[in-house]
């Protein structure tokens, strides 16, 4: 990180040093930031961290909020939404009414609501199942940990079985609400009937174990202290270390409404909102995304938050009632075009996503794709963007966006270059291995011959490694297996006989092992032992239609960046390896195993591989 910050509060300098050196921030650090008036410096630190994680991307989703009922068995002080069954404002939605609120262009339906005293378990399962049946391209994000715990207790079904049945019906992710703030003091005063931190974490950790990723939230701006906020961050960070199952963190500003709760101010100030977002970005170092939830923040504050560490605006959020019943002032629904304009006005790339943060469409010019793996860091550590914008994106998704003509250049998967060679112009840079790679790994229960007819789980990111695996199986070992793509969040591996991981996930698993999969194969090593050739996983290419001056500038940027990166492999290793639990020496050794320039042997290896893939059937 090379950002220069002129601190007004000198107490923040030591925190910035820790951030730059990849050190984890402490309770003391979090308190120092909340007590500081130097909001601009805190925002700059958070923005730098966000840039490292997601570049210029800001995500949004076409989503619909469904709240099936406001009837609830609980009576929480802070809630203006829930009522009792005999109240005039009480409502209940049928499944048919829920379906009538959805359209095929919605990518995510977000379901939360009251804890209804009478509805049977089948209502909830059928709700999810019917949504997926009628809208197969819409992912269901549903039920807070409070609701899951309610189902468990009311219907006397173990939490794991509740989640298994919902997953089988079509549930794919979970929202993060319910615990509000992980403080027993606050829980007892404001929502003593709701679950606390222990039960909340039990539900989410169980979901993660089953391959259901989830979000996490903090309700702030009521009676909680700064220390309780920081402790909330630290508990989430610890759980993420354990499971890796949280997709995003969402700070939710308290809306007092008519609750009778009297915070210091009726609404949190913009400064307080921005500071909380920025500090969450700095404290939650193992969370990929921080959301600026415009429904509670207002559009104006959410826009500023995109330069204070947030990289997600949520979405169109049609049908939201809970926050608005409590007095939220933002418009009920935000159109896609308006979201895109807000993101563009903040100088960012609007990225339409799915529930797993896979990019579906981007709305920006001069976008260059960045493979977000350790092996590509030498290209990007000193990459001067100039007139280009940077989008970190998994290899397969980069190819999809290039096919839609939404990217001008990138470090493309070799298979995507082959498929788009009519429109892409090859550059002289690549990611190629000499004899092993350590980050394209097959974890297996069987030897190669034992994989005949077996089911192999494939990480969603890959476009080339899956074809390399197929070539090795069929042409080297004479074995055919079946492949199934896994989503890009966490997954339940128990139903597979082998797992193919790539990138940083493979590096981590290669070091720690993957329980139940005792045999580990490095696909680049398998290729080298067979062909005595390097393997080219990705190549730099740009659109043939790119103007000549931009082609020349891109060539210059890549060359200068790579030369600086290769000269600093030790420094890069010391910094970037920490996130993967690699020592500086291990990281440097890993990076030294790559060739980043496309030479004659690399081109020959590409030709050999292309001929081989033409001889095998496409099975995924």
Element (H, E) at 267: none
pLDDT score for 316:
78
Query: Rounded to whole angstroms, how far apart are CA atoms 436 and 375?
Result: 13
When the pLDDT of each residue in the chain is averaged and rounded to a whole number, the result is 91
Does the pLDDT at position 192 exceed 90? no
Overall residue count recorded for the chain in this entry: 620
Tokens of 153: 């207790």
Element (H, E) at 102: none
| Exposure class string for 512-527: b at 16+ Cβ within 10 A, else e | eebeebeeebbbbbbb
| Exposure class string for 49-80: b at 16+ Cβ within 10 A, else e | bbbbbbbbbbbbbbbbbbbbbbbbeeebebbb
Does the pLDDT at position 129 exceed 60? yes
pLDDT score for 577:
87
Q: Which of 76-90, 106-120, 327-341, 580-594 has the lowest mean pLDDT?
A: 327-341
pLDDT score for 91:
92
pLDDT score for 266:
60
Query: Rounded to whole angstroms, how far apart are CA atoms 178 and 176?
Result: 7
Tokens of 333: 């629904």
Residue whose token pair is 């418009």? 331
**How many CA atoms lie less than 13 Å away from 495 in the CB half-sphere?**
11
pLDDT tens digit string along 65-119?
999 998 987 666 556 666 778 788 899 999 999 999 999 989 999 999 889 999 9
pLDDT score for 500:
98
pLDDT score for 407:
96
Neighbouring C-beta atoms of residue 549, cutoff 10 Å: 9
Of residues 316 and 441, more confidence is placed in 441
Residue whose token pair is 């899956």? 466
| Average of per-residue pLDDT across 363-375 | 95
Task: Walk me through the domains of the chain, giving residue ranges and CATH numbers.
Answer: 10-360 (3.20.20.70), 365-433+535-602 (3.40.190.10), 440-531 (3.40.190.10)
Q: Report the DSSP beta bridge partners of residue 483.
A: 456
Q: Report the DSSP beta bridge partners of residue 443.
A: 499, 520
pTM: 0.91
Does the pLDDT at position 413 exceed 90? yes
In 393-451, the DSSP E strands lie at 409-413, 424-433, 440-444
Residue whose token pair is 């989703």? 61
pLDDT tens digit string along 303-324?
999 999 999 998 876 543 444 3
Element (H, E) at 457: strand 455-459
Sheet holding 171-173, edge to edge: 63-66, 108-111, 139-142, 171-173
pLDDT score for 322:
41
């Amino acid at each position: 990180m090379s950002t220069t910050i002129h601190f007004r509060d000198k107490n923040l300098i030591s925190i910035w040093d820790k951030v730059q050196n990849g050190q984890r921030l402490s309770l003391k650090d979090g308190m120092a930031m909340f007590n500081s008036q130097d909001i601009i410096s805190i925002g700059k630190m958070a923005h730098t961290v966000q840039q490292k994680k997601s570049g210029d991307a800001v995500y949004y989703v076409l989503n619909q909020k469904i709240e099936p009922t406001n009837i609830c068995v609980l009576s929480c002080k802070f809630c203006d939404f829930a009522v009792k069954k005999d109240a005039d404002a009480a409502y209940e939605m049928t499944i048919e009414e829920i379906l009538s609120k959805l359209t095929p262009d919605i990518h995510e339906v977000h379901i939360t609501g009251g804890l209804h005293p009478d509805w049977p378990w089948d209502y909830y399962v059928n709700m999810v199942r019917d949504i997926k049946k009628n809208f197969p391209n819409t992912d269901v994000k549903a039920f807070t940990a409070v609701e899951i715990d309610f189902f468990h207790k009311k219907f006397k079904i173990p939490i794991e079985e509740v989640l298994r049945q919902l997953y089988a019906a079509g549930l794919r992710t979970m929202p993060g609400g319910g615990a509000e703030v992980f403080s027993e003091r606050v829980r007892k005063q404001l929502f003593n009937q709701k679950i606390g931190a222990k039960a909340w974490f039990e539900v989410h950790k169980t979901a993660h174990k089953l391959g259901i990723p989830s979000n996490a939230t903090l309700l702030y701006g009521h009676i909680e202290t700064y220390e309780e906020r920081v402790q909330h961050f630290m508990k989430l960070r610890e759980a993420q270390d354990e499971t890796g199952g949280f997709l995003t963190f969402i700070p939710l500003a308290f809306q007092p409404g008519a609750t009778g709760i009297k915070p210091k101010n009726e609404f949190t100030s913009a400064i307080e909102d921005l500071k909380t977002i920025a500090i969450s970005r700095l404290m939650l170092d193992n969370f990929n995304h921080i959301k600026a939830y415009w429904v509670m923040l207002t559009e104006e504050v959410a826009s500023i938050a995109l330069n204070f560490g947030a990289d997600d605006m949520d979405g169109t959020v049609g049908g939201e009632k809970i926050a608005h019943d409590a007095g939220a002032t933002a418009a009920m629904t935000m159109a896609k075009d308006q979201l895109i304009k807000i993101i563009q006005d903040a100088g960012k790339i609007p990225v339409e996503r799915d529930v797993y943060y896979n990019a579906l469409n981007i709305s920006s010019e001069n976008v260059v794709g960045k493979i977000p793996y350790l092996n590509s860091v030498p290209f990007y550590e000193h990459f001067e963007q100039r007139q280009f914008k940077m989008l970190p994106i998994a290899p397969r998704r980069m190819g999809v966006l290039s096919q839609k003509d939404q990217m001008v250049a990138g470090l493309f998967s070799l298979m995507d270059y082959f498929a788009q060679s009519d429109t892409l112009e090859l550059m002289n840079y690549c990611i190629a291995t000499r004899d092993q790679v350590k980050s394209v790994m097959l974890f297996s229960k069987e030897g190669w011959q034992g994989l005949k007819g077996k089911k192999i789980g494939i990480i969603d990111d890959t476009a080339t490694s899956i074809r390399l695996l197929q070539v090795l199986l069929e042409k080297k070992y004479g074995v055919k297996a079946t492949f199934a793509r896994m989503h890009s969040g966490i997954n339940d591996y128990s139903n597979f006989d082998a797992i193919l991981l790539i990138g940083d996930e493979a590096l981590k698993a290669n070091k720690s092992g993957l329980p139940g999969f005792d045999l580990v194969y490095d696909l680049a090593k398998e290729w080298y032992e067979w062909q005595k050739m390097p393997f080219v996983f990705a190549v730099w290419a740009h659109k043939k239609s790119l103007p000549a001056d931009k082609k020349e500038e891109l060539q210059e940027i890549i060359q200068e960046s790579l030369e600086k990166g290769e000269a600093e492999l030790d420094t890069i290793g010391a910094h970037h390896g920490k996130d993967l639990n690699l020592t500086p020496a291990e990281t440097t050794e890993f990076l030294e195993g790559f060739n980043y320039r496309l030479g004659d042997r690399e081109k020959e290896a590409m030709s050999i591989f292309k001929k081989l893939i033409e001889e095998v059937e496409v099975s995924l």
